[in-house]
Amino acid sequence: MREGEKVINESKQGEALVLDNTKISSKKLYIESYGCAMNFSDSEVVASILDKEGYATTRDASEADLVFLNTCSIREKAEQTVRKRLTEFKKQKKANPSLVVGVLGCMAERLKTNLLEEEKLVDLVVGPDAYRDLPNLIEETNGGNKAVNVLLSREETYGDIAPVKLDQNGITSFVSITRGCDNMCSFCVVPFTRGRERSRNPLTIVAEARDLFEKGYREVTLLGQNVDSYRWNMSSKGVIQDETIPTTNFAELMEMVAQIHPDLRIRFSTSHPKDMSDDVLHMMAKYDNICEYIHLPVQSGSSEVLKKMNRGYTREWFLNRIEAIRRILPNTEISTDIISGFCGETEEQHKETLSLMEEVRFSFAYMYKYSERPKTLAERKYEDDIDEKTKGKRLQEIIDLQMKHQLENYKKAIGKTYQVLVEKPSKKNPDEYSGRNSQNTVCIFPKENVKIGEYVNVKITNCTSATLRGEIV
Ligand code: 5AD
Ligand code: SF4
C-alpha cells in the first residue's frame, strides 16, 4: 500500500484534499480525497472520466450534482473521518434529493454493499479499479436507485487516461506508475482494497510527465505502493511477455522521466527497504534533477517485530540500505513511517525502534499507533494486545525523538544555500513564497523578483521544527 500513502508534497493522512478545477458547465462534480497521494491522483482520473461526460469540478459542494468522497481504510480513524463527513451531506441531500453521493476508493472496496446499508445517504459505491464504469453507474442511480461496482482488476492501470489536474499550484504533480500491492505486510489492508500489483506502460508515464512539463509543471512524483517493484513487460514469474517491447525496471523508468528536461524535478514514493536496489541509488546519483530524498518506511526497529509484520527485512538489512544511501548519495535525506504498539511489541522492542531512529536520524517521519484492520494477516494471527495508553506513550516517545532530530537537522542547515523550486505564496505571509529544496524540506523566503515555477538559490537564516527560512541569494 502506500506505503505510499503519503509523502512528500502530499496531504497528511486523513486530511481532506478539496479539488478545484472550476469550469463553466451544466453538471458539477465535487470530490474530496482522503489518505494517500495515490487517492489524490485517482481523483484526477475520476475527474477526467467524468469531464468527458460533461462534468466540471467545483470547490463548492452546495452547487454540486455529484458529491464524491475518495476514501482511505488504512486506519480506523481514517474511516471514522469519512463517516463523519458523510453525515454532513445529509442536509444537502434532503434539500436536493437528486444529489448523488458516492463513496470511492478503499473504504468502498472494503465495505462494498454494506456501505449502502450502513450509510443510507450513499447512492454509489465504487472501488479503485472500477472508475471507468462511473458513467454507467451514475446513470443507474437515476430515479433514486443505488449502484455498486467493487470489482478488482489484474490489469487496470488507467494508463491511457490523461488525468484532469486538480491541484492548485500548477507546478508539482503526482504521476501514478503502479497500482495495488503484492507484499502482504501483516498490518495492512491495502492488498485487500487495491488488489494485485500491476505496472503502467512506461511510454504513457513519460508522455504524461512530458505533457505536464510542457504545461509549466516543474516537479513530478512517481507514485506506487512499492515503486521499486515497478516492472513493465515482465510477468510476476519473470517471463518477458512481449519480445518487441523492452523491459523496464524502476531505475530505467526514472531515467526515462529524468531525460525529459533538466528543469523537471523527479521524486518518487514509496520505496520498500526489501526491494530498494543500488541500481536505483546510482541512477539518482546520475541525474541532478532526481531529488535527493527517499521515503523509506521502516515501521519498527526490531527484527522480531518486523518478522511478525511480514516486512521481508531485518533491522540489519534496513541499516545496510541506509549505509548504501549515505555512501552513494551523501546529500540525500531519508524519511520514514513508524508504527507504535504492534501486536506483542515489548518495551525492549519499542526501545529498538528508538535506537534505530538515533542511528538513522530521519529528516521526517509519519508516526502512527497500530490500528487493527479487518481481514489482515495480523488480525487473523495475532492479538492486538498493547493497550491504548501504552501505544500512546510509545508513540509520544517516538514523536518527541523525531522532533528533536528534526530541529537539530534544521539547525545544521542554517548558513547553507539550497536550490528551491518556488511553489506557492506562503500561507502565513503573502509577501513570502514557499517551496522545497531537493531534500524535500519546506523553505520560506521573501518574494523578491521571482515567479512561481522558477528555481532560486535560498540561503537559510533561521528555522522552526517544520520549515527552513531564508533569503534568495
Ligand atoms: N495501523 C497503523 N498504521 C498503519 N499503516 C498501515 N497500516 C497501518 C495500521 N493497520 C501505516 C504504515 C504505512 C503507512 C502508510 O501507514 O506505517 O507505511
Ligand atoms: Fe491509500 Fe487506500 Fe492505503 Fe488509504 S488504504 S493509504 S487510501 S491505498
- Calculate what percentage of the chain has a pLDDT beyond 70: 92
pLDDT in tens, 462-472: 998 789 999 99
- What CATH number is given to the structural domain containing 241? 3.30.750.210
Number of domains in the chain: 3
Does residue 38 contact residue 4 with C-beta atoms inside 8 Å?
Answer: yes
Q: Give pLDDT, residue 402.
A: 97
Contacts of 150 (CB under 8 A, 6+ apart): 108, 109, 112, 125, 126, 127, 130
Does residue 460 contact residue 443 with C-beta atoms inside 8 Å?
Answer: yes
Same-domain check for residues 92 and 177: no
Domain annotation covers residue 144: yes
* Whether pLDDT at 10 is above 70: no
Q: Give pLDDT, residue 4.
A: 35
Ligand 1 midpoint to CA 110 (Å)? 16
Q: Give pLDDT, residue 465.
A: 78
Same-domain check for residues 179 and 113: no
Does residue 194 contact residue 179 with C-beta atoms inside 8 Å?
Answer: yes
Q: Give pLDDT, residue 233.
A: 79
Q: Give pLDDT, residue 236.
A: 58
The span from the CA of 211 to the CA of 162, in Å, is 9
Domain annotation covers residue 85: yes
Q: Give pLDDT, residue 234.
A: 64
Same-domain check for residues 240 and 186: yes
Does residue 212 contact residue 265 with C-beta atoms inside 8 Å?
Answer: no
Ligand 1, closest atom to CA 74? 7
C-alpha cell at 204: 504513457
Ligand 2 midpoint to CA 95 (Å)? 32
65 burial class (0-12, 13-18, 19+ CB within 10 angstroms)?
middle
Q: Does ligand 2 have an atom closer than 6 angstroms to the CB of 4?
A: no
- What CATH number is given to the structural domain containing 440? 2.40.50.140
Same-domain check for residues 198 and 106: no
Same-domain check for residues 198 and 118: no
Domain of 185 in residue numbering reads as 169-291
Same-domain check for residues 251 and 217: yes
Q: Give pLDDT, residue 153.
A: 94
Average pLDDT estimate for 377-386 = 98
Q: Give pLDDT, residue 69.
A: 97
Same-domain check for residues 251 and 193: yes
Same-domain check for residues 211 and 277: yes
Domain annotation covers residue 316: no
Confidence band, pLDDT 50/70/90 cuts, at residue 25: low
Average pLDDT estimate for 294-304 = 98
The span from the CA of 452 to the CA of 277, in Å, is 35
Same-domain check for residues 214 and 122: no
C-alpha cell at 237: 514469474
Length of the chain: 473
Phi-psi region of 201 (alpha: psi -120 to 50; beta: other; left: phi over 0): beta
Same-domain check for residues 244 and 202: yes
The span from the CA of 268 to the CA of 230, in Å, is 12
Q: Give pLDDT, residue 246.
A: 75
Burial 276-306 (b: 16+ CB within 10 A, else e): beeebbebbeeeebbbbbbbbbbbbbbbbbb
Average pLDDT estimate for 273-279 = 96
* Whether pLDDT at 17 is above 60: no
Average predicted confidence (pLDDT) for the chain: 92
Which residue of 11, 68, 72, 182 sits with most ligand 2 atoms within 8 Å of its CB, as the best mutation to test the pocket?
A: 72
Ligand 1, closest atom to CA 5? 15
Q: Atom 1 of ligand 2 has which residue's CA nearest to it?
A: 36
Domain annotation covers residue 406: no
Same-domain check for residues 68 and 103: yes
The span from the CA of 246 to the CA of 457, in Å, is 39
Does residue 74 contact residue 105 with C-beta atoms inside 8 Å?
Answer: no
Ligand 2, closest atom to CA 193? 2
Distances (CA, A) of 102 to 32, 128, 137, 295, 408: 11, 13, 10, 32, 45
Q: Give pLDDT, residue 2.
A: 37
Listed residues 85, 116, 149: the one ending a domain = 149
The span from the CA of 21 to the CA of 190, in Å, is 29
Listed residues 246, 261, 291: the one ending a domain = 291
Domain annotation covers residue 298: no
Domain annotation covers residue 351: no
Judged by DSSP in three states, 101 sits in strand
pLDDT in tens, 177-209: 999 999 999 999 999 999 999 999 999 999 999
Q: Does ligand 2 have an atom closer than 6 angstroms to the CB of 426?
A: no
CB under 6 Å to ligand 1: residues? Answer: 2-3, 5-6, 74-75, 187-188, 297, 299, 337, 339, 368, 370-371, 373
- What CATH number is given to the structural domain containing 139? 3.40.50.12160
Average pLDDT estimate for 224-250 = 81
Listed residues 257, 276, 291: the one ending a domain = 291
Average pLDDT estimate for 204-224 = 97
Average pLDDT estimate for 122-144 = 96
Average pLDDT estimate for 319-328 = 98
Q: Does ligand 2 have an atom closer than 6 angstroms to the CB of 36?
A: yes
Does residue 87 contact residue 67 with C-beta atoms inside 8 Å?
Answer: no
Least trusted range by pLDDT, from 16-25, 84-93, 181-190, 364-373: 16-25
Domain annotation covers residue 9: no
Q: Which amino acid is at 38?
A: M
Ligand 2 midpoint to CA 148 (Å)? 20
pLDDT in tens, 80-103: 999 999 999 988 999 999 999 999
Average pLDDT estimate for 432-451 = 96
Domain annotation covers residue 157: no
* Whether pLDDT at 71 is above 80: yes
Q: Give pLDDT, residue 444.
A: 98
Same-domain check for residues 36 and 136: yes
Contacts of 396 (CB under 8 A, 6+ apart): none
Q: Report residue 206 CA to chain centroid gap.
A: 20
Q: Atom 7 of ligand 2 has which residue's CA nearest to it?
A: 72
